[in-house]
Structure 1
């Protein structure tokens, strides 16, 4: 049975975590009523999948007990079809794989981390063309379809010599809200999973570290932003190259069933103002 008094530190952290999510919901028209019903479904789903006894599915009554969701709602939500997937959409997953290959696999890269400009057609570039890149990753989709979509999303461009240039060092579309939202869900989910594991699970912790300062000028923030964009991306490219090599080595093994996310982020905003000192009648200052 859950504790009637959750730790205050957890409640404070959850409230802070929810603020940017609520900001997103309000900007995109997700009301409290809609979100609250969706959240009920998440409570029921997690309780059903992760809080079993002896690996047996919990009863509606037990789920109601540990979640606080009414038993009638539990039954309704357990019977409702799930209209979402834990996986990235196929187009996004394929795009990420293509960008990774372009950045790390000869002859498509100049060196690991630097994608080569590729002739658009195999008739011009042979095995070092954009046609060949797409064919290397998937035989089920035409390169022209990928290129048209990537131009729409700002991921690739064609120059005057009919060569395709990669415009980004990761599959992060400059346009295309649905694609950005897919990555938002993937990245925030995995970051949260690592942090929750480190708070609640035994065994080795996942790496999850940050540095933070609160007395910097706007010029210093821009200098840090540029440094993170340059050096941080080089770090991620190195991890991408290693992961690509390891995946190729593991591909035929029976235990190649683990996924990994390695992330890096940068955020800045105005610091909270220091508390104003209050002077009482005796002249003593209090924070």
Structure 2
């Protein structure tokens, strides 16, 4: 009798104990870091370079933790909490970089988001449609002007063309800006792709860590299926993309509406990120007593 695939709906508990076993935490973090280590090695960055970055991060985060606990951020206190030698702490605090500020969302991404959220610029399926390059709305020129008055629309168009996100076609004697993809997908290896990696993974980690430490419950769920063929995995990816396309448009529309209402308020200082991801790869069956089909909620 064929074995049923294992389907798991996962929602981490937000009431996890704040005191966690260090060894288990290290194993969990190592699993998260493994693909990042692969990225470093393929980019020509070795362990000494990473260790230097980690030393600075440990110092910076130790300062944050001490401040959260209401303790003085002396070199000795930072050294004790982080494990970094006191001399290195002093040197890094004098010569190191300040805590990095979040990079602003690229203008190209903001324009694309408007492209798929504005009913006049998107089709019924929520995908961006071809727009006249110039002229009154709906046009690409008007689209860019609705996002920024500081950059000329032609400059933005050149950037989208460089990223392979848009093309210009001549139809009926006029220029049309045509989306090359239904999603904002920067080319592999570009700075924009690295910015998305950093922003998306960092906020995903923020949500997951907050839940593990018992912070304010936040959405961080996934669906896991094992014991299926590669063809089935591809079909599930198509389903996932379809679901994401539908909810993405609704969320961008709601976010745009709330932004317009909040932008002049002095307390408008919050940010949100809602994402979706899909990954498939080889699966090694677990021991029989750990592979019982069914739903699980940690």
Instruction: Tell me if TM exceeds 0.5.
Output: yes
SS in 2 for 1:212: strand
Match of residue 225, structure 1, among 233, 237, 250: 237
Match of residue 272, structure 2, among 244, 252, 260: 260
Q: Distance in 2 between matches of 1:107 and 1:53?
A: 47
SS in 2 for 1:266: coil
Match of residue 37, structure 1, among 40, 52, 66: 52
RMSD: 2.2
Instruction: Point out where structure 2 has 5 or more consecutive residues left out of the alignment.
Output: 1-19, 289-298
Does the CA-based 8 Å contact 2:125-2:246 persist in structure 1?
Answer: no
Is 1:121 equivalent to 2:134 in the alignment? yes
SS in 1 for 2:178: strand
Instruction: Point out where structure 1 has 5 or more consecutive residues left out of the alignment.
Output: 277-287
User: Once the two structures are superposed, what CA deviation does each residue of 1:16-74 show, in whole Å capped at 9, x if it has no partner?
Assistant: 11111111111001110010011000000011123226646500000000000001110
When normalised by structure 2's length, the TM-score is 0.82
Partner of 1:165: 178
Is 1:185 equivalent to 2:198 in the alignment? yes
Does the CA-based 8 Å contact 1:52-1:58 persist in structure 2?
Answer: yes
Does the CA-based 8 Å contact 1:159-1:165 persist in structure 2?
Answer: yes
Q: Distance in 1 between matches of 2:211 and 2:187?
A: 33
Following superposition, the deviation at residue 80 of structure 1 comes to 2.3
Is 1:131 equivalent to 2:131 in the alignment? no
Q: Distance in 2 between matches of 1:81 and 1:44?
A: 10
Partner of 1:205: 217
When normalised by structure 1's length, the TM-score is 0.85
Does the CA-based 8 Å contact 1:64-1:74 persist in structure 2?
Answer: yes
**Highest RCO, 1 vs 2 (Cα 8 Å, sep ≥ 6):** 2
Runs of 4+ in 1 over 4 A off after TM superposition: 53-57, 273-276
User: Once the two structures are superposed, what CA deviation does each residue of 1:105-151 show, in whole Å capped at 9, x if it has no partner?
Assistant: 243334582323211122xxx23221111112111111111111111
Deviates more, 1:170-179 or 1:240-249: 170-179
Deviates more, 1:159-168 or 1:58-67: 159-168
Aligned positions of 1:1-287 closer than 5 A? 6-52=21-67, 55=70, 57-82=72-97, 85-89=100-104, 92-111=105-124, 113-122=126-135, 126-161=136-171, 162-175=175-188, 177-202=190-215, 204-274=216-286
Larger radius of gyration between Structure 1 and Structure 2: 1
